[in-house]
A and B are shown apart, each in its own frame.
Chain A
Amino acid sequence: MKKIILSLALALTFLALLAVSAAADSPVVGSKQYLYVEDGVDILTDEQKADLTARLQRLSDTYQIDVAIAVFQSIYPYGYSDDMDFADSYYEDNGFGRGSDRSGIVLVRIMDTRAYTYDTAGSCKATMSDEHGLDYYDYETGLVSALKRDDYYTAFSEFINGSEFLLNYEKENGYAYGDEPVPAFSLARTVGSLFTGFLGGLIPVSGMKSKLKTVRQQVGANAYARENSVAVTRANDLYIGHHVTRTVRQTERSSGGGGGHYSSSGMHHGGRTGHA
């Protein structure tokens, strides 16, 4: 019996070691209730960390989404080369997101490249939309300028304040920031439609008008070529040279914005990466 218990204990220990070894290759750092602030490089004091964590937790509970912050020295030790891919994995592997659509937003700061990435999922893809909501963080808060001067507590406070503003904006207005309902009447749309309609209307009317014209000069004398009278007596095709031209290929790279993107696991995310 003792041997069996010992064998089970050894097996469990081995499995635990395997799990720890695997965890070292991914940005999973623990259970999420303690990870609203993940400071992997000790840039925040304990007091700052506690304050930010409390505010993030309150915000997350109030709006039933996850709002979190993470700081890493580099993404390369984890086997990543793209900040967005890293943020996607950090979000998914740590189990962020609430509700069936796993709504939430995570701000990931990478120290060596000075990259900062917003990673959104679920309803937050609309609340903090790539087109408008993320612009609010960048241009309407002091987040970016604080990151530039390495004032991380201020930067993350601005992120929390910005998130609260965007969430509250949606709650009060019924639509996300920058996503104002389109009015049924728009002068520009009316003028544009009328102009296009006028041009479009010209097509069928011009067709009707062209049917009134039946007097046309003949181009050739095809109708008078004697049947089977065409005989090709000589056909000569001479190659006289060639030239090659080359142009530089235009390469396209996804910015991670627009309509969002899919992570390697297949989950749909929003977000984008900047440098400051």
Chain B
Amino acid sequence: MAELMEYKCPACGGALEFDPGLQKMKCPYCDSTYEMSELQGKDEQLTEGEAALNTPLPADEMNWNTNAGGEWSAGETDGMRVYVCNSCGGEIVADQNTAASSCPFCDNPIVMMGNFTGALKPDLVVPFKLDKNAAKQALRNHVKGKKLVPKLFSDENHLDELKGVYVPYWLFDSEADADLRFRATRVRAWSDSRYNYTDTEEYLVERSGSISFDAIPVDGSSKMDDTLMESLEPYDVGEAVPFQTAYLAGYLADKYDVTADQSVERANERARKTAEAVFSSQVQGYTSVRLESSSIRLRESRVRYALYPVWLLNTSWNGEKYRFAMNAQTGKFVGDLPVDKKAYWKYLLLYGGIIAAIIYLIVWFMQK
């Protein structure tokens, strides 16, 4: 493989070479000749490209106004009690009429610590839209038809342990300005009687624009697995209402222990990924596209403190703990299920045996 040239023939795409006799650039493939001045435009483009390559994009500006949450009014928290879990240290809030005996996060006993004090008042709450029966049915559906789930696991003994919990979230709103720079290639191939040729054109591609985000949620509880909570998304913040303690009746609520400032990094990461994906999709007509650098700058950013409704079920099987959760607004149910090893091998041998028998017969008939 050999590097052949720098300019391509406008007529056929072949490699131009300088012909000392003609004092022109000549295409050895189609014999076209070009004055050097004709190729000057190419030089200018190259110069422009080089200049752009050497100009760095502006630095990221992804700062947020993290003044979320409000102050409690006098007497507003009088009916709220705080329970503490001696096992995981979680602090759970419930109204005075809700009997809370076990931790929704680790299932260990909890004790009442006293009246609720401190912490910020949530800006918003998405009320529970689906009740416990819906959660039970969702769990049944979650297990149903999954042949590798252990039979004992799918019995309904645990169903009554479903707990309705309001999980604290920080919601990030912002307008984002984005500059993205890509390296792209356009490849063309052709052949003659002796060689196969590949012409790879390289481009510097830039896209700039803006995109707005509403309520990117980041879990504000360290006791809730972040991945589990993200699996429950999306929530429709359009159905959120201003917080009132009355919404806590009959449910538990987790106090945030991850601040808005601590959640900024995850919000930025998600906003950046989406901005990059959206503007990458605007680069079309190339054989390959590679993002080289990007700059994201946020405007009119704000953070809100909200409580999202979740049905939680903690259970254990074969010494392992399993946690399931349902988005109590949309009904989306998630939770990794255990694998019954006996069933796994049974199906592997069954399918493997059928495939092996088919392959055996095919090979036999082909050899005959």
Separation of A190 and B209 alpha carbons in the complex (Å): 61
Q: Determine the interface band of chain B, counting residues with CB < 8 A from chain A.
A: 35 or more
Q: What chain A residues lie within 8 Å of B167 (beta carbons)?
A: none
**CB within 8 A of B194: which of A218, A222, A234, A249?**
A249
Identify whether the interface residues of A are mostly helix, strand, loop, or mixed. Answer: mixed
Q: What chain A residues lie within 8 Å of B142 (beta carbons)?
A: 214
Cβ-defined contact, A225 with B204, below 8 A: no
**A200 located at the interface, meaning its Cβ lies under 8 Å from any Cβ of chain B in the complex:** yes
**A193 located at the interface, meaning its Cβ lies under 8 Å from any Cβ of chain B in the complex:** yes
Q: What chain B residues lie within 8 Å of A76 (beta carbons)?
A: none
Q: What chain A residues lie within 8 Å of B349 (beta carbons)?
A: 201
Cβ-defined contact, A196 with B356, below 8 A: yes
**B73 located at the interface, meaning its Cβ lies under 8 Å from any Cβ of chain A in the complex:** no
A77-128 residues with Cβ-Cβ distance < 8 A to B are none
Give the number of chain A interface residues (Cβ < 8 Å): 56
Cβ-defined contact, A238 with B8, below 8 A: no
Cβ-defined contact, A224 with B216, below 8 A: yes
Q: What chain B residues lie within 8 Å of A238 (beta carbons)?
A: 45, 48-49, 52, 203-206
Cβ-defined contact, A242 with B227, below 8 A: no
Identify whether the interface residues of B are mostly helix, strand, loop, or mixed. Answer: mixed
Separation of A225 and B215 alpha carbons in the complex (Å): 9
Separation of A130 and B159 alpha carbons in the complex (Å): 72
**A230 located at the interface, meaning its Cβ lies under 8 Å from any Cβ of chain B in the complex:** yes
**B22 located at the interface, meaning its Cβ lies under 8 Å from any Cβ of chain A in the complex:** no
Cβ-defined contact, A243 with B351, below 8 A: no
**B50 located at the interface, meaning its Cβ lies under 8 Å from any Cβ of chain A in the complex:** yes
Cβ-defined contact, B337 with A245, below 8 A: no
12 inter-chain pairs at a CB distance below 8 angstroms, sorted by A residue, are A197-B353, A197-B357, A197-B359, A214-B231, A215-B227, A219-B270, A219-B273, A222-B277, A231-B209, A232-B282, A239-B42, A246-B2
Residues of B within 8 A of A (CB): 1-6, 8, 14-15, 42, 45-46, 48-50, 52-53, 142, 146-149, 184, 191, 193-217, 225-228, 230-231, 233-234, 267, 270-271, 273-274, 277-279, 282, 333-339, 344, 347-357, 359-360, 363-364, 367-368
